[in-house]
Structure 1
Amino acid sequence: MQGNKPVVVLVDAYTSGKYLLPEFTALGAETVHVQSTPDFMPSMPAPDLSGYRATIVHEHLDRTVEQLAAYAPVAVLAGQEPGVELADLLSEPLGVPSNRTTLSAARRDKYRMIETLRAAGLHCADQFVGDDAAQLRDWAEQVAGYPVVVKPLKSAAGDGVYVCADSAAVLAAARAVLGSDTIYGETNREALAQSYLRGEEYVIDMVSYSGRRYVCGVWQYHKRLLRNGRNIYDWEHLLGPDEGPVPELIAYVDRALAALGIDYGPTHAEAILTPEGPALVEVGSRIAGNMHPRFHDRCTGGNQATLTALAHLEPERFLAEYAGRRYTKREEAVCCTTSTGLSGVVTGVDEQVVAELTGLETVFGLNVKIEPGGRIRPTVDLYSSTMRIFLSGPSADAIRRDRRCIEELKDRVYQIRPDECE
């Protein structure tokens, strides 16, 4: 089956993973999609498979490896979080650049992730994992103190994450996590409790090849803690490559990736700058969820999707031109994640309001996340947010002005049939 073009395998190219396909295609590659589950995951929009040379639904490792070997792929990458471990399992026997399977579990399981960093001498949260809510409460009471963070071991996007102020909140959060399913359809047999990291939270995005890295961007999160303990995303803004804590954060994440055995591919790390120094919240071995290639090109001079494709198809060029370097801040940039208190069925999208939003001076683009027929519900995590809006411009004041307009308009985008009217 081998043709003249190199073939790249993408595993579970959901959400922002969709941006990898056109970038590999633009550099002359063909792509094969591997789906890790029998059916598409209902929590995310199904990937558009029309641009792939072939699609494979994974059932048995040896069979999937045999099917992929016929294409002689040059790379295997996770398109989204649930594909990380399968991409590792496939890349080794196919003989392509690989992060290997030795630490694969630590790249998804947050308890193992943090313990791996601790063993490497990096500053981390204290933590405890258990399958009984009372165990987590006892640890909080006797060891950690409050507040305590309770969350699933293998989810993302703020799913099931609670900031707990007392023992009753820990019990309630642990019971909510245990036995529930993550956004990826995995059942939480255990829950993780961690000491609360005090400080500002940052995003550090990189692309690696052969252990050498390019820093694509560092952003500061601005979140809002709800009364129920959920800490939701509001917006994040781009920092300059030498601004404030950025060099310290980059150095810490570089050590964290090395400890986790991440030598290849894109990574999306979240870290909190505590009084004792940076501490990892988590890192995903895939591109960032806020990825918008042209937006990032505009404000940072590059983007993870393009650079991931370049690294795997033209590694000599990536190593010569990008490895060991970092982005530039070309202009002020913000990514807004809009929240809502609305609940009901979406019956339509008011295009006039959407046009009003896109017409704001600094709005580069927006994603309307809920289609007619879908449900809108009060925001508790990224997956229940309503829109993602990208803003950029020469002045932070102009962006702040447009953010105020967004707050006024956001709940008018969706026409809904409220739950109480059903």
Structure 2
Amino acid sequence: MPLTCTTHTAPANPRPEPPATVAVVAPSADLHDAVRSLHHQGTPCLAITLPHRTRPLTATDEAPPGHYAHTVTHHSMRRTLAALRTHGVRTVVAGSAHGIDLADQLAEQLGLPGNTPLTSILRRDRAAQADALALAGIAAPLQVRATGLRSAIRWATHVGRPTYVIAPADTSAAGPARTCRTHGQISLAWGALRRAAHRQTGDRHLVIQETVPGPHYLLHTVSHAGRHRVREIWCETRTPGGLADRADRVSGTGLLARALTLYLNQALDALGITEGAFRSRIAYPPDRGPVLLATRLDTTANLLAATTPFGPPRRETPLPTTRVSLIARHDATIAPQALRAITSLPTVHHIEGETLYGGAPVSRTVNRLTCPGTLVLSGGRRAIEADYRVIRALEDQLFAGPER
């Protein structure tokens, strides 16, 4: 019987699938480092820029060369969707507040995880947020959205509170809110805030609301598939002029953290948030309980959350931590000797801010975008308090260089 030989042909190696692309809608400048890092890790990003006519005056959603694998300018849903399918997009995120609406629509059309477009406004408008909370029976500040000064003063007269807070309706606006006691103060703040709101967000609407007493807490959250996780809690202190002064980390295991987390979980559900990273400011008057003042997109954390597993919360550092926001009272340059004296303090752990170096020009601090930098202090509480006082004492010398 003749022997037979059967030849088995090894299957050709299947062609590896290209890495899934992340689409970033209306990317802001503060995303550039995160996008570059993702590129080095093998995750390409595609930028979707908006037409110039639809952008706010100060929008920076330009995709710099080398950061994004592709750039698509949005002109129509059909063309943009076709481009995203061509490039194998598997994740869509908003790269700034004015990209929220389009990101929600694109994710829904592509069948990708995202928030429903029906509630997009609730993720960027503080008046809509307060209305949604009140409708759900969740504590919210008394407020009204307006463009006209007369209607704002009429509402303040009707409500009869001792003080009011006026802020842009769009939560992405960087300028500090104004606290007003009289109709005259409301009038003075109204025009300047309307102009700032229009420049930064394209929306002239302002919100006037009651002043909610008590300490303010800033909660950083990540949501996925309707589940919310609080990553960090900070107790924030501001200057009398409304500028950021310092933020002290709050332990995530105490009764305070539990009360804030339970309240915020309900609030995020009411705002229709099922995906993404956000920062929420909550006031906590002792006789009233937590009250959400505003929730805004956390752009860098939002991109990173969309590209990392939704795992357990990271372990907290055992040491107290404080973030000190530097304040320049006028345009100047940074004095190198004063900077060395500050950064050599025992509890100064690191610096946040690319422009914080000797000889660097700085602008007068008027909002969070013009903050020259942040010092992160870590150590014993007494040591942190001592170094904080030294930093404030040296601040005038730090920004005493020649004005630009």
2:366 alignment partner, one of 355, 377, 380: 380
- For 1:247, the equivalent position in structure 2 comes to 258
**1:331 Cα deviation from its structure 2 partner:** 1.9
Q: For 1:85 and 1:400, locate their aligned partners in 2 and report how far apart those are by CA, in whole Å.
A: 43
The answer to whether the 8 Å contact 1:217/1:327 transfers is no
| Equivalent residue runs for 1:10-409 within 5 Å | 10-14=24-28, 16-18=30-32, 20-22=34-36, 24-25=38-39, 28-36=42-50, 38=52, 42=58, 48-156=64-172, 158-159=174-175, 161-182=177-198, 184-188=200-204, 190-226=205-241, 231-274=242-285, 275-287=287-299, 306-311=304-309, 318=310, 321-322=311-312, 328-342=316-330, 344=331, 346=332, 348-366=333-351, 367=353, 369=355, 376-377=363-364, 379-393=365-379, 395-409=380-394
Q: For 1:62 and 1:106, locate their aligned partners in 2 and report how far apart those are by CA, in whole Å.
A: 26
Local SS of the residue matching 1:310: coil
Q: From the superposition, tell whether residues 93 and 144 of structure 1 become closer, same or farther in structure 2 (CA, over 3 Å).
A: farther
Deviations 1:57-90 (A, max 9, x none): 3343333222222112111112332322222122
**1:349 Cα deviation from its structure 2 partner:** 3.9
Local SS of the residue matching 2:127: helix
Identity of aligned residues (%): 21
**1:256 Cα deviation from its structure 2 partner:** 1.1
- For 2:11, the equivalent position in structure 1 comes to none
* Structure 1 gaps, min length 5: 292-303, 312-317
The answer to whether the 8 Å contact 1:18/1:79 transfers is no
Q: For 1:84 and 1:402, locate their aligned partners in 2 and report how far apart those are by CA, in whole Å.
A: 40
Q: From the superposition, tell whether residues 87 and 306 of structure 1 become closer, same or farther in structure 2 (CA, over 3 Å).
A: closer
**1:193 Cα deviation from its structure 2 partner:** 0.7
**1:47 Cα deviation from its structure 2 partner:** 6.5
Local SS of the residue matching 1:89: helix
Q: From the superposition, tell whether residues 30 and 368 of structure 1 become closer, same or farther in structure 2 (CA, over 3 Å).
A: closer
Q: For 1:40 and 1:140, locate their aligned partners in 2 and report how far apart those are by CA, in whole Å.
A: 29
The answer to whether the 8 Å contact 2:319/2:378 transfers is yes
Rg bigger for which structure? 2
Shifted more, 379-388 versus 97-106: the winner is 379-388
- For 1:295, the equivalent position in structure 2 comes to none
The answer to whether the 8 Å contact 1:205/1:216 transfers is yes
Q: What one-letter code is carried by the residue in structure 2 that aligns with 1:363?
A: V
**1:392 Cα deviation from its structure 2 partner:** 1.9
Q: For 1:57 and 1:68, locate their aligned partners in 2 and report how far apart those are by CA, in whole Å.
A: 11
Deviations 1:233-276 (A, max 9, x none): 10101111123411111111111111111111111111111221
Q: From the superposition, tell whether residues 42 and 176 of structure 1 become closer, same or farther in structure 2 (CA, over 3 Å).
A: closer
Q: For 1:327 and 1:19, locate their aligned partners in 2 and report how far apart those are by CA, in whole Å.
A: 24
* Structure 2 gaps, min length 5: 1-15
The answer to whether the 8 Å contact 1:217/1:326 transfers is no
**1:194 Cα deviation from its structure 2 partner:** 0.5
Q: For 2:79 and 2:384, locate their aligned partners in 1 and report how far apart those are by CA, in whole Å.
A: 51
Q: For 2:56 and 2:183, locate their aligned partners in 1 and report how far apart those are by CA, in whole Å.
A: 38
Q: What one-letter code is carried by the residue in structure 1 that aligns with 2:367?
A: D
Q: From the superposition, tell whether residues 334 and 182 of structure 1 become closer, same or farther in structure 2 (CA, over 3 Å).
A: farther
Q: For 2:63 and 2:258, locate their aligned partners in 1 and report how far apart those are by CA, in whole Å.
A: 36
Q: For 1:21 and 1:242, locate their aligned partners in 2 and report how far apart those are by CA, in whole Å.
A: 33
Q: For 1:332 and 1:390, locate their aligned partners in 2 and report how far apart those are by CA, in whole Å.
A: 11
Shifted more, 171-180 versus 15-24: the winner is 15-24
Local SS of the residue matching 1:104: helix
Q: From the superposition, tell whether residues 411 and 40 of structure 1 become closer, same or farther in structure 2 (CA, over 3 Å).
A: farther
Q: For 2:87 and 2:354, locate their aligned partners in 1 and report how far apart those are by CA, in whole Å.
A: 37
Q: From the superposition, tell whether residues 81 and 370 of structure 1 become closer, same or farther in structure 2 (CA, over 3 Å).
A: farther
Q: What one-letter code is carried by the residue in structure 1 that aligns with 2:324?
A: C
Q: For 1:327 and 1:305, locate their aligned partners in 2 and report how far apart those are by CA, in whole Å.
A: 21
Q: What one-letter code is carried by the residue in structure 2 that aligns with 1:35?
A: T
TM-score by length of 1: 0.81
Q: For 1:264 and 1:236, locate their aligned partners in 2 and report how far apart those are by CA, in whole Å.
A: 26
